[in-house]
Amino acid sequence: MSHEASRPVSEENAPAGQVPNTEENAGTETTAAATTAGAGTTFGAGATAGADSTAGTEAISGAEYLKKIVSAPVYRVATNTPLENMETLSKRIGNEVLVKREDLQPVHSFKIRGAFNRMSQLTDDERARGVVAASAGNHAQGVALSGTELGVRTVIVMPEVTPSIKIDAVRSFGGEVLLHGANFDEAKAKAMELSEVEGMVWVAPFDDEAVIAGQGTAGLEIFQSRPDVDRVFVQVGGGGLAAGVSVLLKELDPNIQVIGVEPEESACLTHALAAGHPVALDHVSLFAEGVAVKQIGSETFRVCREYLDDVITVSSDEISAAIKDIFDDTRAIAEPAGAVALAGLKRYAATHQVEGETLAHVLSGANVNFHSLRYVSERAEIGEGGEGIFGVSIPEREGAFLEFCKILGHRAVTEFSYRVGQRDGEKPARIFVGVKLKNGEDERKAIAEDLREAGYGVVDLSDDDVAKEHVRYMIGGTPGQHVDETAYSFEFPENPGALLHFLEVLGTRWNITGFHYRSFGMDHGRVLAAFEDVSGDAEFQEHLQQLGYHATDVTDSPAYDFFISAE
């Protein structure tokens, strides 16, 4: 999905008859000042962000942000990272593609910029009290290293399930680690308690003017390297990086387009724009955990709404494909959040037929869990349109397998799963097949059409998450008799006791008729479970809520219906 918007309007670039943004009309909605971005939302209209952190105070202007960014002393710890040409991708999409290498920072993430800028402004009294932060990721490392450089004690509260590699990284930069709680919210509550009870200074990860200004130095470096850039793509999580980069670039050159990019299942800015103020999402996908934020900050929302030209969303498959693109051109391995901006760049260029332009994106970090690369590798080809996945019904007789393969011709088969079914010839066999594509979606549709014309039943499963995460590993047939079952996809935390908790809550009262789990080396895992006779069962729904794991009913998934469900 794509939300179009015009660039912010000033006295210099306001079209005839259009009201420019000035102090006199800031905060008013002017239809001519911006196009809509979702229902009732505007970019560049100078509108306030509902109940934000600046309520009751005068919001900082773009010019003031520019001064703060230019004077930010981040280079005591941060690096002026290179802006490199991605030659292979540039040739492929017909644009000059530049990557801002924030993975080359000392903490392998842009977060060091904002953390140090904020902490450099501590008073002597605040330094003596120390700082506290809650994070299981890049912000934690940025705060820890900044504290070491400034001689300030730093305490990082992390969930008890945080992988040891992240804990060790924080300690290596000089931070004290306090493990508390089962999730980020509980860790943050403990950090806030330390701030209130012990007087430690809370260092916010994004919703802070000094943090925004620090992150904005990345945008300043982009402008200094290539002031002729046409569009810059920036990932959006809490909004600190997008706010800082966009306000800097638009203040220096309003003609540069700045576009925010979010994962489809963690689109807190997109939802905030639709509502007109920050809203809390019920659930966020943890694949790109660095931008998996339930609610954008108040100040970051205000700045992003005023200075971003557009906001688009991308899928996990597109992010995986972008990770591969970055590796192919730079040999760097981006974390999923680090590749979000490139995924948006590629989608935007394809959707808007952009050619011959200079497009930049921020590789925001490379703190990737090595074992998660298995998942990325499996999904990258699909995200690039390089693989099609199909469920196909073929006759249960000799020679049928060969006939099917002949229709595929010389195309490379990437995956093939089959199990013998009924031998009476009345019921066809069902196969799961992956095919390597050269021409993306058009070829995918052509394959499906060729198979249908040959008399085969075909279901295109290339966009079906249940197929890609579970069913491809479960091919083997349906129950021998009819079972009234409902299937759910669960998001499990990757910690000891998670499965036991699941079974204690749901596995004793209701019969589990199907189950699949596979670890992808991330902080969370996906589980597919089917239950017998729970449709309309209010008690089951109550226990589902009690479980505390995000669950989605996938009984009607095409892949589940084709291969697994009881008939």
SS3 at position 174: coil
Give the separation between CA 135 and CA 404, rounded to whole angstroms. 52
Least confident of 80-94, 124-138, 351-365, 398-412: 398-412
Residue 528 has pLDDT above 60, yes or no: yes
| pLDDT for the residue 101 | 98
Q: What is the mean pLDDT of residues 303-331?
A: 96
CB 62 within 8 A of CB 44: no
Q: What are the Cα distances from residue 283, in Å, to 9, 543, 552?
A: 35, 18, 11
CB atoms within 10 A of CB 222: 24
User: Is residue 496 very low, low, confident or very high in pLDDT (cuts 50, 70, 90)?
Assistant: low
- Which segment, 50-54, 159-163, 215-219, is predicted with the most confidence on average? 215-219
Give the separation between CA 94 and CA 86, rounded to whole angstroms. 12
Residue 148 has pLDDT above 90, yes or no: yes
Contacts (Cβ under 8 Å, ≥6 apart) of 513: 479, 483, 485, 530, 531, 532, 566
SS3 at position 342: helix
Give the separation between CA 287 and CA 342, rounded to whole angstroms. 16
| pLDDT for the residue 299 | 97
pLDDT averaged over every residue in the chain: 83
Q: What is the mean pLDDT of residues 302-310?
A: 98
When comparing pLDDT for 449 and 413, which is higher? 449
Contacts (Cβ under 8 Å, ≥6 apart) of 374: 520, 521
CB 68 within 8 A of CB 209: yes
| pLDDT for the residue 378 | 75
User: Is residue 481 very low, low, confident or very high in pLDDT (cuts 50, 70, 90)?
Assistant: low
Residue 521 has pLDDT above 60, yes or no: no
SS3 at position 323: helix
User: Is residue 23 very low, low, confident or very high in pLDDT (cuts 50, 70, 90)?
Assistant: very low
When comparing pLDDT for 410 and 243, which is higher? 243
Residue 93 has pLDDT above 60, yes or no: yes
Q: What is the mean pLDDT of residues 174-194?
A: 89
CB 101 within 8 A of CB 81: yes
| pLDDT for the residue 345 | 99
| pLDDT for the residue 354 | 97
Least confident of 261-265, 307-311, 558-562: 558-562
Residue 5 has pLDDT above 70, yes or no: no
Task: DSSP for 439-482, please give it.
Answer: SHHHHHHHHHHHHHHTT-EEEE-TT-HHHHHTGGG--S---SS-
Q: What is the mean pLDDT of residues 132-148?
A: 94
Domains (ranges, CATH) in the chain?
2-108+208-379 (3.40.50.1100), 131-199 (3.40.50.1100), 385-463 (3.30.70.260), 477-564 (3.40.1020.10)
Residue 177 has pLDDT above 70, yes or no: yes
User: Is residue 30 very low, low, confident or very high in pLDDT (cuts 50, 70, 90)?
Assistant: very low
| pLDDT for the residue 54 | 41
Instruction: Please name which of 108, 138, 89 lies closest in space to residue 326, comparing C-alpha atoms.
Output: 89
When comparing pLDDT for 535 and 170, which is higher? 170
| Chain segment 331-378, per-residue pLDDT in tens | 999 999 999 999 999 999 999 999 999 999 999 999 887 877 877 887
Give the separation between CA 155 and CA 139, rounded to whole angstroms. 12
| pLDDT for the residue 415 | 77
DSSP annotation of 412 reads P
Helices (H), 236-384: 240-252, 268-275, 298-307, 316-330, 340-351, 373-383
| Chain segment 383-418, per-residue pLDDT in tens | 677 788 899 988 866 667 778 877 887 777 777 776
User: Is residue 129 very low, low, confident or very high in pLDDT (cuts 50, 70, 90)?
Assistant: very high
CB 369 within 8 A of CB 165: yes
When comparing pLDDT for 93 and 546, which is higher? 93
Which active-site residues does the annotation give?
A: 111, 364
Instruction: Please name which of 26, 564, 524, 445 lies closest in space to residue 283, comparing C-alpha atoms.
Output: 524
The residue length of the chain stands at 567
